[in-house]
Amino acid sequence: MARVSTRLVIRRARLVRDPPADGATVVVEGGRITRVALPGEPVAAEPGDWEIDADGRLLVPGCVDAHTHLAVGALLRFAGLPGRYPGSPRALRQGFRRPVEERLAPADVEALARAAALAALRSGTTTVIALERAMPGEELATLEAAERAVRAVGIRAILAHGASDLGGADRGRASARAAVEFAAPRAGDPLVRGMAGLDGLHATTRETLDALAEPAARFGIHASVGEDGSDLDRSWGLDQKWPVQLLDDSALLGRSTIVAHGSTLSTPEAEAIRAADAVLVVPLRAARHWGVEPAGLRLVAAAEVPIALGTDGLFPDLAGEAVELAGHLRGRRSAPSPGSEFLDESAWPTSAALASQLLGARLGAVQEGACADLVILDWRPSGVEPEGRGGNAAALWAGAPASWVIVAGEVRLREGVALGVDPVEVSAKAVEAARRALAD
């Protein structure tokens, strides 16, 4: 990485705003944006400046992946999944993930998570909210391994261990203890935070839900719920409640709650999420790949549920999720659905707002006073300039690689080259870790 002691001055940048600004200058000092000079406003050079020529390329805020799995996501890609896996999400969880996770040592988590973090960086993602799992008895070590990975690459992260009682009645409670041990010392860290995690309800006991209440109240909770029908089967069959209602009854639904997936979401659950000021994260591409119906966007919009975008660890780029959402909205002609502004005004900015809340920092804006998490994309639009506040423009720039990435004022990617890590070594170690985890 490159630490900057004076100023970063980004010149000749295109900014996404109304109206678009071509030829802007952005000044970064002390990890924050201190000036945004529109075309025609001079910015004098100072001794010691690091001048970056955007050369007409698009300058955007770093993206926030609101639901991912770093280690397992990388492992799925190295294993040839999701491209060739024929099973359902339930079969994937029981037949692939569970046995593989139980062989995944902290060193393997670190290697795989580093590869995933580097892929995210190269796609323009500067913050990830990740739910991790690995071998039993190593809950805290798993989180520490993921932390080493993201710090080495240089992205921000909010990390959680996904509690579940698969493999033993005490595993979920061990995860709850690890959440406190990891999150408490990092409560003021600007780059890495911790929170509680829940890996579905299908094999989670009431005792584990009770154990998660305390860390969830202190640090928030990242709950993967309703990825398929198994959570609904469990919660309704045993408690006669919808899955999100069970979270609410267990004191796990609040302002710092992330509900990921929600494919079986009902109107009462949507209303409960809205009342708690929680956030629903919908990884649309993952849902489509696995053949699962995503949370109903018409229902979500009607209940005014805050919605964010995530990748589920299968794909590194958030702009691709914007394309998927835009296509999903256009494709639902048989019933009224949210308009195109739903992407631009709701789903896209909510991810940044969520990360800002959890990290105590202002993210997702190219504005004076905001954190300097910035990306110069290798994309020079010709003719019509991109408009909007980010989401609709993201659907246009999808697939454009990041040329420069700056996180907290520090250069992490320079003209496509990662600083501070060797991509060849990162890939080689991840492949070794995948081979160990996948060995029969």
pLDDT surpasses 90 at 290: no
148 by Cβ neighbours in 10 Å (0-12 / 13-18 / 19+) ranks as middle
- Model pLDDT, residue 54: 97
Prediction pTM value? 0.94
Interacting residues of 239 by C-beta distance below 8 A, sequence separation 6+: 246, 249
- 18 shares its domain with 95: no
Which residue range forms the structural domain that includes residue 29? 7-61+363-415
Q: Quick check: is 439 in a domain?
A: no
pLDDT surpasses 60 at 170: yes
Cβ 123 vs Cβ 114: under 8 Å = no
What are 255-281's pLDDT values in tens digits?
A: 999 999 999 999 999 999 999 999 999
Last residue of a domain, one of 338, 359, 380: 359
Strand order in the sheet with 192-194: 63-68, 125-132, 156-161, 192-194
Q: Quick check: is 348 in a domain?
A: yes
- 204 shares its domain with 244: yes
pLDDT surpasses 60 at 39: yes
- 274 shares its domain with 367: no
Interacting residues of 189 by C-beta distance below 8 A, sequence separation 6+: none
pLDDT band of 101, cuts 50, 70, 90:
confident
- Model pLDDT, residue 440: 64
Q: Quick check: is 267 in a domain?
A: yes
Q: Quick check: is 210 in a domain?
A: yes
Find the CATH number of the domain harbouring 11: 2.30.40.10
Cβ 25 vs Cβ 9: under 8 Å = yes
233 by Cβ neighbours in 10 Å (0-12 / 13-18 / 19+) ranks as middle
pLDDT surpasses 80 at 88: no
- Model pLDDT, residue 332: 56
Q: Is 343 helix (H, G, I), strand (E, B) or coil?
A: helix
- 72 shares its domain with 46: no
Among residues of the chain, what percentage have pLDDT more than 90?
Answer: 69
- 43 shares its domain with 121: no
Q: Which amino acid is at 259?
A: V
- Model pLDDT, residue 313: 93
Query: Does residue 193 or residue 75 have the better pLDDT?
Result: 193
- Model pLDDT, residue 336: 55
- 266 shares its domain with 316: yes
Q: Quick check: is 421 in a domain?
A: no
What are 394-428's pLDDT values in tens digits?
A: 888 898 999 999 999 999 999 999 999 999 999 99
- 301 shares its domain with 381: no
* 134-158: average pLDDT: 97
pLDDT band of 433, cuts 50, 70, 90:
very high
What average pLDDT does the structure give for the chain?
A: 90
pLDDT surpasses 90 at 245: yes
- 244 shares its domain with 95: yes
